[in-house]
Amino acid sequence: MLEQKQKTITYADAGVDIDAGNRAVALMKKSVQSTWRPEVLTGIGGFGGLFALDTTKYREPVLVSGTDGVGTKLRVAFLTGIHNTIGIDAVAMCVNDILTLGAQPLFFLDYLAVGKLKPEQVADIVSGVAEGCRQSGCALIGGETAEMPDFYGAGEYDIAGFAVGVVDKNKIIDGSTIAPGDVLVGLPASGLHSNGYSLARRVLLDKAGYQVDQVHPLLGCSVGEEMLRPTRIYVSAVLPLLNKFEIKGLAHITGGGLVENIPRILPGGTAVQIDTGTWEVPAVFKVIAQEGPVDSGEMYRVFNMGLGMVLVVPAARAGDVVADLKSRGEDARVIGEVIPGDGRVHLT
């Protein structure tokens, strides 16, 4: 009697499709290559990305690195089925952070983990990463896409980003020269950006019961569209200022809002007074506050409230800084000043 041959099991049977991974790489190749700068030396598919730093541009080049994710904003992408903007958020959260030190972004890497690899979905996600890289002038030179069955639900994924930039050592912006009398200039946010989404989802989707495709009269678009609005990238707005003006400090307004991010750059013996009437708070924050309800203190501690980047400049040059930004289409506003104090932000 012949023994019946047992059917062999494959990696695909276990939930990982190598062929789908190869197809995803092929689909994203054009997007990735569209971000490359002249310093990029390697192609797609190697074990590492090579970037030749042009040291002739810097006297003492210092590399600046940053990493971040998108948080529970991803849940909105899952609900809407829109995946081609979330990558912009991943880039923005990283390059905006390193920009606060005066660094020009050079290159970016991403990490994408999925439950089931769908090549077209992955290509959509990476197209957003590429768009964020183009907006910030950095090259997408590496990434990892991991198919992890049983870790993520159907259609779910997580993404993280890693950015590296460069700044001359004597041009590092660290806030150490900030002093009472200096002025704060705010740059507008595009909306929620990528912070506070656990609270925003709880209020808008769970408590208020809005559907992601439901148009809200105060928003002028669907709730899903508003919540997926990409994080603003401030590189093109801020970098041109650095060789023209003394920028004493830069704060990226992320989780913790104005009240927790600005103190990160303040030296001892200083505080900040901000006039919240100097800019228009976007409608989405008003809707969240009303529908929660969420009190004002909590709103300013969780969300950016309409300002995504804050600059600290000498009072004598504040008008020139604002004028320069406005000449390039930026709705910059003087929002407050540095005062003597214990590192806190006072809102009036």
Q: Are residues 250 and 303 in the same domain?
A: yes
Q: Which of 171, 199, 215 is the last residue of a domain?
A: 171
Question: Is 162 in contact with 94 (CB distance < 8 Å)?
Answer: yes
Answer yes or no: is 159 within a domain: yes
- Average pLDDT taken over every residue of the chain: 94
Distance from C-alpha of 344 to C-alpha of 340, rounded to nearest angstrom: 10
CA 171 to chain centre: 23
| 180 DSSP assignment | T
CATH number of the CATH domain containing 22: 3.30.1330.10
Residues 158 and 197 in one domain: no
Number of domains in the chain: 2
Is this structure's pTM higher than 0.85?
yes
**280-316 residue pLDDT tens:** 999 999 999 999 999 999 999 999 999 999 999 999 9
User: 17 with 147: CB under 8 angstroms?
Assistant: yes
Reference 194, options 307, 80, 311, 90; nearest CA is: 90
Domain of 335, CATH number, reads: 3.90.650.10
Least confident among 15-19, 70-74, 155-159, 207-211:
15-19
3-state DSSP assignment of residue 132: helix
Same domain, 151 and 284: no
The answer to the question of residue 5 being in a domain is no
Q: Are residues 155 and 83 in the same domain?
A: yes
pLDDT digits (tens, 9 = 90+) for 89-106: 999 999 999 999 999 999
The more confidently predicted of residues 32 and 70 is: 70
Last residue of a domain, one of 118, 142, 171: 171
221-222 and 104-114 beta bridge pairing: unpaired
Mean pLDDT of all residues in 33-61: 88
Q: Are residues 134 and 189 in the same domain?
A: no
Question: How many beta carbons lie within 10 A of that of residue 198, not counting itself?
Answer: 13
Could you give phi then psi for residue 204, rounded to 5 degrees?
A: -75, -45
Q: 104-114 and 139-147 as β-strands: parallel, antiparallel, unpaired?
A: parallel
What's the longest Cα–Cα distance across the chain?
97
SS3 state of residue 158: strand
Among 146, 171, 196, the domain-final residue is: 171
- Domain match, 158 and 30 both: yes
Which range marks the domain in which residue 144 is found? 18-171
Q: Residue 77 domain-assigned?
A: yes
| Ordered strands of the 139-147 beta sheet | 61-69, 157-168, 104-114, 139-147
Range name among 144-158, 193-207, 265-279 with the lowest pLDDT average: 144-158
Please give the structure tokens belonging to residue 116.
């089931």
Task: Determine if residue 226 is left, alpha or beta; phi over 0 gives left, psi from -120 to 50 gives alpha, anything else beta.
Answer: alpha
| Shared domain check, 150 and 25 | yes
Cβ-based neighbour number of residue 322 at 10 Å: 20
124 and 41 fall within a common domain: yes
Same domain for 280 and 332, yes or no, is yes
Same domain, 321 and 341: yes
Residues 163 and 201 in one domain: no
pLDDT for 43 beyond 70: yes
237-260 tens-digit pLDDT: 999 999 999 999 999 999 999 999
Q: Tell me: do 343 and 213 sit in the same domain.
A: yes
- The answer to whether 279 touches 186, Cβ cutoff 8 Å, is yes
Give 309-337 pLDDT, tens digit per residue. 999 999 999 999 999 999 999 999 999 99
CA distance 340 to 266: 11
Distance separating alpha carbons of residues 25 and 301, to the nearest angstrom: 40
Structural domain contains residue 6:
no
User: Residue 176 domain-assigned?
Assistant: no
H-helix or E-strand spanning residue 25: helix 18-33
Q: What is the pLDDT of residue 84?
A: 96
| pLDDT tens digits, one per residue of 109-145 | 999 999 999 999 999 999 999 999 999 999 999 999 9
Quote the pLDDT of residue 4.
Answer: 63
3 within some domain: no
Q: CA nearest 157: which of 185, 129, 186, 193?
A: 129
CA distance 196 to 190: 14
